[in-house]
Structure formats: C-alpha cells, structure tokens
Amino acid sequence: MKTLPFALLCAAALPASAQTLSPERVAALRDAALTDDVAYDITEGLTTEVGQRLAGTEAEARARAWGVAKLKALGFKNVHIEPYDMPVWVRGEERAEILSPFPQKLTLTALGNSGATPATGLDAEIVAFPSIAALKAAPDAAVRGRIVYLTHAMQPTQDGSSYGAFGVVRRQGPTVASQKGAAAIVIRSIGTDHHRTPHTGVQVFAAGVAPIPAAALSIPDAEQLDRILKRGKPVRMRLLLTPRQTGVHPSGNVIAEIPGRDPKAGLIVIGGHLDSWDLGTGAIDDATGVAITTAAAKRILDHGRPLRTIRVVWFGAEEVGLFGGTAYAKAHAGEKHALLAESDFGADRVWRFDSRVAPAALPVMDRIADALAPLGIARGNNEGGAGSDIAPIAATGLPVVNLRQDGMRYFDLHHTPDDTLDKVDPVQLRQNVAAWTAMLAVVANDATELGPVTPGAE
Ligand code: ZN
Ligand code: ZN
C-alpha cells in the first residue's frame, strides 16, 4: 500500500471546516486584543500628524501618504492608493447675528455644498418651521426672500436611528427652502449635545435647484433663537457665509492586504473612512474606524496566514458623498468578496452584532456570537445593514456583518469642532478591537460560503 505523509493525508481528507480556529484559540486572540495599543496609536497619529482632512484637499492627500507609510510599517502587503477625481467644496467665513429685536451674535457653521451670501452679508427676516413637513406645506409667499429657520427634536438613541429620522432636516431642508424662494436657511444642528459647537454635514441641492446659503446653528444658539421667536416680534438676521466650489480634484482609497492561503475562498473587506470634516480632527469620525479595523487585522496577520485574504480599506471622501465607496465598487466589482464590514460610528463599545448572510451560513455567525458574548455583545438579527462606504458594493448582494457601537454620545460630537482625540476612551476602543479580532479570527479561517444574500435589504 502506498503511503502519503500523514499531514498531507489529513489536509486532503478533512472538510473545509477543519481549517477553522478552535473556540479556545479565537478566545485567546480576542482576550489578547484587550491590551491592544495599535488602534490608539493610529488614532493618535492620524489626528496629530495630519489633523482635519477634508475630502479632495491637500490634507486628505497627506492622510493617504500617512496611511500608506503606517500600513507598510505594520507589515501589510500590496499597500497602495487607488485614485479618483471628485468635486470639492471648501468653507469660507461664517458669521451670524440677530439684528432685531435683541441684537446679538450667534454661532453657526456652513453645511456641505452651501451657497454663499454676498461678500457684505445678507439681511432678512426669519421664518421658522418645526419640521420639514411644515416647511413643505407652507405657501411659497411665506418663505420667499426670507431666511428659513428649521428645527427638530432629535434625541440620542443607542442604535443611532434618530440620525436617520432627523437628518432629513439637513439633507432636504436646503433644497426645499431654495425651491420655495428662500434667501437662505439655518437649521438646528443635527446633534444631541448642549455646547456651542455647531454640526456640519453634507447636503446636496437637487438637480436644477439654485444653491442658497445653508448653515447649522449650534444647539444652544438654536434654543436661543427659539426663545427670541417666542416673544412674537419679527426677527431679522444678518448672515455672512463665503464657501465656494473649487472644481474637480484628486482623492483616493488606501488599500492594504493580508494575502490568504486560498484565493478561491474570497476576500474579506474591512475598514472605515480616512477623510473627515474640516472642523475637528476627525477622531471618532472616523480615525477610530480605520484604527479599530486595522488593529484587528494586524492581530490576525501576526497570528499566521489566514485562509481568506483580508483587505483593509481606508476609504476616501465618505463625508461629502461616498466617492471612495463608489469608486471601490466600480474598481472591484469583478472580484470574489466573501464578506464586508465597516466601522464608522465612533469608538464607544460594541453592544450588538448583526449580520446579513445566507441562512446556510448562520452557524458561522453563531460561532462569532459565542466569541463576542464575553465582551458584553448581544446577538442581533440577520437583517443587518451595510456601512456607508461598503454599501455600494454590498448592494450587489454581498454578505455583511455589523459590529454595532453604542450611539448614546456619538451625536454630541459628530461633525463638530469637538471631534478630537480626548473624546476617545482607550478601554472602549480596545473592546472594539477585541470584537473585530474575534469576528475576523472566525471568518478568515473558515471556507463556508456566506452569501449570496438579497440585495438592498437595508
Ligand atoms: Zn463617518
Ligand atoms: Zn461623518
């Protein structure tokens, strides 16, 4: 009888599931990650050495160069930039004051793609609406030539769902106000803090709609305006906003890989976005997202070659319109993606694990859930949504997992000058790295097909 070396015999005879790491080894990797310093090091380095990094600007280009150097230094392979072009809007001066009945300065910031006032500013009477529905229902004559003030009642939620519900004020308010002939619009910031730190964020005027000046008052300033309006007298505001569109400029995604043992098993894509708004230093949005996912991948890299290739993507230009995620989907549509996951909701602890995989792959998700439970993470459902950057490629029917972070203080800081390093809790950051490490340890060493899934089940 011919004999084969024992190891070769085993490899040939055993099913793919035998490639998997034992629960004990997954747990050991997870627990070691609770002492991680790589994620904090990336967050601290990016926010200190680059700082704010608005998409399409020279600062975002410096962030890409910083990312390439860091990922190479960590030992990742195939580190490179995938460029694309995009239109770029930049902030100018921004000032507001009440002229009457109670003259005083207010704190605000322009929303993305805001139009500009004349260089000398714009004076007009305020017309206030409690909701986008009320603005839509108003006769044009009540709005024409005025400054629309649009408010809302957003409260924090653990799952961040209030952002979807109230973010419409920012996303649609400027277009609706312009369509009705408003001179400008100011909104109550889409946020949940009580500090004089206004929240910016993108809005895009609908096709054919003239850009008007559009800005967000800090929440204390919005509440001040509410009290002034309640006095019942006409309120006049002077507004000076001088942002501008600067044309088309280069941006790009930074990509790094851990090559897997079996190319046929497909790629796992993880990451966050490298660009930030231009007010803070983009610590929680989203330096920590790239940091958490990279630190977890580094732990898998150091443990030995995984079965599946892990691709880490630091997406560009998320904030201003998903240019990086869209470019990635276009460039990589033909590749076999086994799983996608993104971290873009701050740095507070992961509290829930959702997935969207084929029913036959649920036992793999059960193994992840078992590994996450000791971190205080609950198993959610199998109807998980994709993060924004991975959404364009996920829409083709690819499986996703979602390690959901606690959102109770995220919208206190989101898109404000206060999004800075000191807000990152190193203990919660490490819990994130541990959760991502456990998830990767399971799926990167298992050949089970996780898809296909029903596209667009967001
Ligand atoms: Zn983000
Ligand atoms: Zn953001």
Average confidence (pLDDT) over 153-164: 95
Which residues lie across from 239 on neighbouring strands?
Answer: 96, 122
CA dist 307 and 262 (Å) reads 6
Average confidence (pLDDT) over 341-356: 98
How far apart are the CA of 345 and the centre of ligand 2, in A? 8
Around ion ligand 2, residues with a beta carbon closer than 5 Å are 285, 319
Question: Residue 12: pLDDT above 70?
Answer: no
Question: Residue 2: pLDDT above 50?
Answer: no
How far apart are the CA of 428 and the centre of ligand 2, in A? 20
Percent of the chain with pLDDT over 90: 93
How far apart are the CA of 346 and the centre of ligand 1, in A? 8
Do 308 and 338 meet the contact criterion of CB atoms below 8 Å apart? yes
Q: How many C-beta atoms surround the C-beta of residue 181 within 10 A?
A: 15
How far apart are the CA of 218 and the centre of ligand 1, in A? 20
CA dist 67 and 46 (Å) reads 8
How far apart are the CA of 220 and the centre of ligand 1, in A? 24
Q: C-alpha 55: how far from its chain's center?
A: 13
Question: Residue 15: pLDDT above 90?
Answer: no
Q: Is residue 456 part of a domain?
A: no
Closest-lying ligand to the alpha carbon of 271? 1
Q: Which of 242, 270, 300 is the last residue of a domain?
A: 242
CA dist 96 and 106 (Å) reads 5
Domain hosting residue 277, numbered range: 6-88+248-443
How far apart are the CA of 134 and the centre of ligand 1, in A? 29
Greatest CA separation for the chain: 101
Closest-lying ligand to the alpha carbon of 411? 2
Is residue 266 domain-shared with residue 348, that is, in the same domain? yes
Q: Which CB contacts under 8 angstroms, 24+ apart, belong to 97-103? A: 97/237, 97/238, 98/225, 98/228, 98/235, 98/236, 98/237, 99/123, 99/236, 99/237, 99/238, 100/233, 100/234, 100/235, 100/236, 101/228, 101/231, 101/233, 101/234, 101/235, 102/228
Q: CATH number, domain at 362?
A: 3.40.630.10
Is residue 15 domain-shared with residue 70, that is, in the same domain? yes
Q: Which of 242, 272, 288 is the last residue of a domain?
A: 242
Q: Is residue 357 part of a domain?
A: yes
Q: Is residue 448 part of a domain?
A: no
Q: Is residue 421 part of a domain?
A: yes
Q: What is the mean pLDDT of the chain?
A: 95
Question: Residue 173: pLDDT above 60?
Answer: yes
Do 401 and 339 meet the contact criterion of CB atoms below 8 Å apart? yes
How far apart are the CA of 294 and the centre of ligand 1, in A? 16
How far apart are the CA of 276 and the centre of ligand 1, in A? 7
How far apart are the CA of 289 and the centre of ligand 2, in A? 11
- From the list 270, 418, 394, the residue with the least C-alpha distance to 344 is 270
Is residue 294 domain-shared with residue 434, that is, in the same domain? yes
How far apart are the CA of 111 and the centre of ligand 2, in A? 12
Closest-lying ligand to the alpha carbon of 191? 2
How far apart are the CA of 79 and the centre of ligand 1, in A? 22
Is residue 312 domain-shared with residue 196, that is, in the same domain? no
Is residue 73 domain-shared with residue 105, that is, in the same domain? no
Q: C-alpha 429: how far from its chain's center?
A: 16
How far apart are the CA of 215 and the centre of ligand 1, in A? 20
Is residue 225 domain-shared with residue 257, that is, in the same domain? no
Is residue 169 domain-shared with residue 267, that is, in the same domain? no
Q: Which of 242, 260, 276 is the last residue of a domain?
A: 242
How far apart are the CA of 322 and the centre of ligand 2, in A? 11
User: What are 387-420's pLDDT values in tens digits?
Assistant: 999 999 999 999 999 999 999 999 999 999 999 9
Q: CATH number, domain at 146?
A: 3.50.30.30
Q: Is residue 289 part of a domain?
A: yes
CA dist 341 and 373 (Å) reads 19
pLDDT at site 454: 76
Q: Is residue 450 part of a domain?
A: no
Please, which pLDDT band fits residue 455 given cuts at 50, 70 and 90?
Answer: low
Question: Residue 8: pLDDT above 60?
Answer: no
User: What are 21-55's pLDDT values in tens digits?
Assistant: 999 999 999 999 999 999 999 999 999 999 999 99
Q: How many C-beta atoms surround the C-beta of residue 240 within 10 A?
A: 18
Please, which pLDDT band fits residue 6 given cuts at 50, 70 and 90?
Answer: very low
How far apart are the CA of 202 and the centre of ligand 2, in A? 9
Is residue 68 domain-shared with residue 188, that is, in the same domain? no
Please, which pLDDT band fits residue 19 given cuts at 50, 70 and 90?
Answer: confident
Do 418 and 52 meet the contact criterion of CB atoms below 8 Å apart? no
How far apart are the CA of 13 and the centre of ligand 1, in A? 46
User: Which region, left, alpha or beta, applies to residue 455 given φ > 0 means left and ψ of -120 to 50 means alpha?
Assistant: beta
User: What are 288-340's pLDDT values in tens digits?
Assistant: 999 999 999 999 999 999 999 999 999 999 999 999 999 999 999 999 999 99
User: Which region, left, alpha or beta, applies to residue 338 given φ > 0 means left and ψ of -120 to 50 means alpha?
Assistant: alpha
Is residue 276 domain-shared with residue 352, that is, in the same domain? yes
Domain total in the chain: 2
Q: Is residue 431 part of a domain?
A: yes
Closest-lying ligand to the alpha carbon of 163? 2
